[in-house]
Amino acid sequence: MSDSSGDRRPVKSRSWKVSQALATWLDSRNCFPNLISEIVLAVGLAGGFTVARRPLNPPLQ
């Protein structure tokens, strides 16, 4: 994994072992940052759509 920490915002989670392991795993599979962003966008849109489809006042049981 290339070190480009000079041009990145400081985010505390980047120093977590699990974050570093996941970044190394993704890098070894040639996942580009834009692909990861697009996947996150799709998951966020799916979640937003799911929330929007819920009834505002669900019936009480």
Would the pTM of this model clear 0.75, i.e. be above it? no
pLDDT digits (tens, 9 = 90+) for 22-54: 989 999 999 998 998 999 999 999 999 999 998
Q: Which band of pLDDT confidence, cut at 50, 70 and 90, is reported for residue 11? A: confident
- As a whole number of angstroms, the distance between CA 49 and CA 32 comes to 26
Q: Which band of pLDDT confidence, cut at 50, 70 and 90, is reported for residue 3? A: low
- 39: phi then psi, degrees, rounded to nearest 5: -65, -45
- As a whole number of angstroms, the distance between CA 61 and CA 43 comes to 31
Please give the structure tokens belonging to residue 37: 């962003």
